[in-house]
Amino acid sequence: MEKMIIEGGYRLVGQVPVSGAKNAALPLFAASLLVERWNTLQNVPALTDIRTIARLLRQMGVKIEGESGTVRVNAAGVHSCEAPYKLVKTMRASVLVLGPLVAKWKRARVSLPGGCAIGARPINLHLKGLEALGATVELKHGYVEARADRLKGAKIYFDISTVTGTENIMMAAALAEGRTVLENAASEPEVVELANFLNKMGAKIQGAGSDVIIIDGVKELKPVEHIIMGDRIEAGTLMVAAGMTQGNVKLLNCNLSQMEAVVAKLREAGLEIYPEGDGVKVIGPANIKAVDVKTLPYPGFPTDMQAQIMALMCLASGLAVITETVFENRFMHVSEMRRMGADIRVEGSNAIVRGLPSLTGAPVMATDLRASASLVLAGLAAEGTTEISRIYHLDRGYEKLDEKLCKLGAKISRVKE
Ligand code: EPZ
């Protein structure tokens, strides 16, 4: 295992590209199971999670050329419809193969994901949706066993807005007979990206980006080429990095229209954020203002940016209340930040952050993907050296983040633990 060593106190200055979106790429890999021809995905980020879903698809018999950048995927050779526990437990997004497998290959045996650091994260709504489409779904020995000769369109209400639940059922309904209406559907940009991808393949999907999505099933889909959208969470993370170091950074491949809640809050905190030429300029303030944040499904403030904005609030002047409404255990970065001198008190789903003039570097431990990002951010601004262990969490969802930050002037190295 590796750990990251960060010398804090360096301003970030320069230009940095935002990579392809992890949470858009993963469903697009799964959607490739819907056609027995070559799909071409471009702007695929080099991430552990991408390598994991590629491994899962390959062992099903899917042919995959490439690991990142331009990747070609062909599901013609599928001989197994199983997603084994050993892979699903490392990446719960593997459950995204469930919908396409049942729709196209009539059966699926997918391990239940099991627990996750940030919450229970059940998939009951995924299964409810598949049953509504006519699949028989059984739970046996820790696996979901689903089958259907031909799925039939249905009206499905999601009790909770679920991103991958919406994506799973949208993919399944694309090949179902008749019309499916998803109500209280997730409206995240990554859901819209998947709908656009499926429509390019010949699906008939309307309303993606709203909370009602209508899918008219078709008999067959065709292969496509697609350039994956930029990662709005990486972009938000890089903005906070500029905000914490009084930086002056220009982000490339950053779509502000997908980041309105994040940009609004960062501007309230004193960052200057504006389009400049082919990118987005972010200027960190001398004084960071404390702002309250409440995470919500899109278009609200994304839970995936909660840990990162908490790092910024640790250096703000005043008291910030950060409320996490999406996951029940997404404050594990708090105890690590406290080791760096942060003044944070957790009361239920609220974290009360009293901003301080500075943080001090310390040995800390990454616990999950976004928590690890927040510790990198804190390390950039802290006085002295920060050592982050279990940095593999970061590599799941950020492409060469330390290299990108070093190009902007940060002092970061990696060593074997
Ligand atoms: C997606 O996870 C993202 N992952 C997560 O990003 C993100 O945090 C999350 O959406 C919320 O935006 C991918 O897209 C691969 P949910 P997902 O289903 O779909 C409950 C990251 O850091 N729920 O929208 O698994 C669930 O427990 C990751 O990149 C049910 O109760 O999240 C949670 O409380 C972390 N039953 C809430 O809904 C279900 O069947 C939202 O979860 C499904 C979900």
Q: Is the CB of 160 under 6 A from ligand 1?
A: yes
**Phi/psi of residue 66, each to 5°?**
100, 160
How far apart are the CA of 185 and the centre of ligand 1, in A? 12
- pTM value is 0.98
Q: Under the phi-then-psi rule, with left for phi > 0, alpha for psi from -120 to 50, and beta for the rest, what region is 87?
A: alpha
Residues 298, 232: Cα–Cα separation, whole Å = 12
Long-range contacts of 82-88 (CB under 8 A, 24+ apart): 82/108, 82/109, 82/110, 83/56, 83/108, 83/109, 83/110, 83/111, 84/59, 84/111, 85/111, 85/114, 85/142, 85/143, 87/52, 87/55, 87/56, 87/59, 87/111, 88/56, 88/112, 88/113, 88/114
Residues 6 or more apart in contact with residue 79 via CB below 8 angstroms: 60, 61
Ligand 1 centre to CA of 114 (Å) is 13
Does residue 284 have its Cβ closer than 6 Å to ligand 1?
A: no
- Atom 4 of ligand 1, residue of closest alpha carbon: 23
- What pLDDT tens digit does each residue of the chain (417 aa) get? 899 999 999 999 999 999 999 999 999 999 999 999 999 999 999 999 999 999 999 999 999 999 999 999 999 999 999 999 999 999 999 999 999 999 999 999 999 997 788 888 899 999 999 999 999 999 999 999 999 999 999 999 999 999 999 999 999 999 999 999 999 999 999 999 999 999 999 999 999 999 999 999 999 999 999 999 999 999 999 999 999 999 999 999 999 999 999 999 999 999 999 999 999 999 999 999 999 999 999 999 999 999 999 999 999 999 999 999 999 999 999 999 999 999 999 999 999 999 999 999 999 999 999 999 999 999 999 999 999 999 999 999 999 999 999 999 999 999 998
Helix (H) or strand (E) holding 283: strand 279-283
Q: What's the DSSP call for residue 113?
A: -
Ligand 1 neighbour 23 (Cβ under 6 A): yes
Q: Which residues pair with 74 in a beta bridge?
A: 38, 63
| pLDDT of res. 86 | 93
| CB distance 110 to 142 below 8 Å | no
Cβ–ligand 1 contact at 304 (below 6 Å)? yes
What are φ and ψ of residue 170, in 5° steps? -65, -45
Query: Residue 202, exposed/middle/buried by CB under 10 A (0-12, 13-18, 19+)?
Result: middle
Largest CA distance in the chain: 63
Residues 320, 350: Cα–Cα separation, whole Å: 10
Tokens 């609220």 belong to residue = 350
Cα of 163 to ligand 1 centre, how many Å?
6
Q: Is 135 touching ligand 1 by the criterion CB < 6 Å?
A: no
Ligand 1 closest atom vs CA 188 = 12
CB burial class (10 A; 0-12, 13-18, 19+) of residue 138?
exposed
Burial status of residue 274 (CB atoms within 10 A of its CB: 0-12, 13-18, 19 or more): exposed
Q: Which helix (H) or strand (E) holds 174?
A: helix 163-174
Q: Which atom of ligand 1 is nearest to the CA of 127?
A: 40
For ligand 1, atom 10, the nearest C-alpha belongs to 163
> Is 176's C-beta closer than 6 angstroms to any atom of ligand 1?
no
Closest atom, ligand 1, to C-alpha of 124: 40
Tokens 């499926």 locate to 198
Query: Which domains, ranges and CATH numbers included, belong to the chain?
Result: 2-19+230-416 (3.65.10.10), 22-227 (3.65.10.10)
- Which H helix or E strand runs over 105? helix 98-105
113 pocket-lining for ligand 1 (C-beta < 6 Å): no
Rounded to the nearest whole angstrom, what is the distance from the C-alpha of residue 165 to the centroid of ligand 1? 8
- CA-proximal residue: ligand 1, atom 39 (nearest): 123
User: Ligand 1 centroid to 249 CA: how many Å?
Assistant: 30
CA of 172 from ligand 1 middle (Å) equals: 18
Confirm or reject: Cβ of 368 under 6 Å from ligand 1: no
Report which ligand 1 atom has the smallest distance to the Cα of 368: 22
Rounded to whole angstroms, the Cα distance separating 382 from 340 reads 8
Find the 92 Cα to ligand 1 centroid distance in Å: 10
Q: Which residue minimizes the CA distance to atom 27 of ligand 1? A: 121
- Any idea which residues carry the catalytic annotation? 116
